[in-house]
Amino acid sequence: MTTQRHYSPIDRLLLQADAAMRTLLPFSGQPYRPSPAIVQPDVKMSDEDTRHVAGLMRINHTGEVCAQALYQGQALTAKLPKVRAAMEHAAEEEIDHLVWCEQRIHQLGSHTSILNPLFYGMSFGIGAVAGLISDKVSLGFVAATEDQVCKHLNEHLEQLPAEDEKSRAILEQMRLDEEQHAESAREAGGFRFPAPVKFGMSLLAKVMTKSTYRI
């Protein structure tokens, strides 16, 4: 019979601090799966296309930073142990995306966004508040957020140069995973947010994408 360890509030805060450091420090995350890009050929792209793809991957990397923070904040304040465990498991899966994007950005000779700590803090706060309100709201926020992420991924897939199979493989696998996260959150009883709330989330997402494309 397995037993589940119970953490004190101080233990959980220390674990959150460790998660934040592993998310924000370069090359500190360890993926559970190898990048889908490794089986794709290296191709030479124009300087303009390279800069554009790097900008798109930087946006996606920051999105994964936000996802890590959101899940960690929700796990900290989730009321039911099974919901907390689901949030922590989702955060583990998102680490793959975080590392894959970071690897691809550096392959393209670029850098991750300097705004990542700011967005991590904001997303952690949003996740913690959602968890405090209720687990149903917290799960609903996951579903709505993942829907926004899938929308951005679809847009980015359309913008990729045809020859960039490495970035395409990463984004396609990310889309599959995010769709599953959204569906799982809804099946677990997540609240379905009304259109005005989703519109507000979309505006915040646009602020993030515009600001991190270059910096």
Q: How far is Cα of residue 104 from the mean position of the Cα atoms in its chain?
A: 15
Cβ proximity of 83 and 135 under 8 Å = yes
CA dihedral 125, 128, 130, 135 (to 10 degrees): 170
- 172 appears as a binding residue in the annotation: no
- 88 appears as a binding residue in the annotation: no
Q: How far is Cα of residue 11 from the mean position of the Cα atoms in its chain?
A: 24
- 102 appears as a binding residue in the annotation: no
- 181 appears as a binding residue in the annotation: yes
- 64 appears as a binding residue in the annotation: yes
- 106 appears as a binding residue in the annotation: no
DSSP 55-102: HHHHHHHHHHHHHHHHHHHHHHH-SSHHHHHHHHHHHHHHHHHHHHHH
Q: What kind and span of H or E run contains 147? A: helix 135-159
Binding site for Fe cation: what residues are annotated? 64, 94, 97, 146, 178, 181
Binding site: what residues are annotated? 64, 94, 97, 146, 178, 181
